[in-house]
Amino acid sequence: MIEKIYDVATGETTEVPYNAKQKAEVAKNDLLIQEREQQKIADSVAKAALLTRLGITDEEAKLLLS
């Protein structure tokens, strides 16, 4: 991974490799993103299952909750 640093005064761009701390942070953020995506999928599946058990559509559920 490369970090691009732009110097406004000179107009030069410098490429610097990520250090270990930056790489670890990127890896951590990637895991958090994956966890959130998996949770969204799990929530959607649970919602669909509940609506199916109740025998109503998403629109009908919204009407009930409004």
DSSP secondary structure, 1-66, as one string: -EEEEE-TTT--EEEEE--HHHHHHHHHHHHHHHHHHHHHHHHHHHHHHHHHHHT--HHHHHHHH-
Could you give the number of structural domains in the chain? 1
For residue 29, the enclosing domain spans: 19-65
Length of the chain in residues, anyone?
Answer: 66
Domain membership of residue 14 (yes or no) is no
Show pLDDT as tens, one digit a residue, over the chain (66 residues).
999 999 999 999 999 999 999 999 999 999 999 999 999 999 999 999 999 999 999 999 999 999
Q: CB neighbours (10 Å) of residue 51?
A: 14
pLDDT of 32 reads 98
Domain membership of residue 13 (yes or no) is no
Domain membership of residue 56 (yes or no) is yes
Residues 6+ apart with CB under 8 A from 61: 51, 54
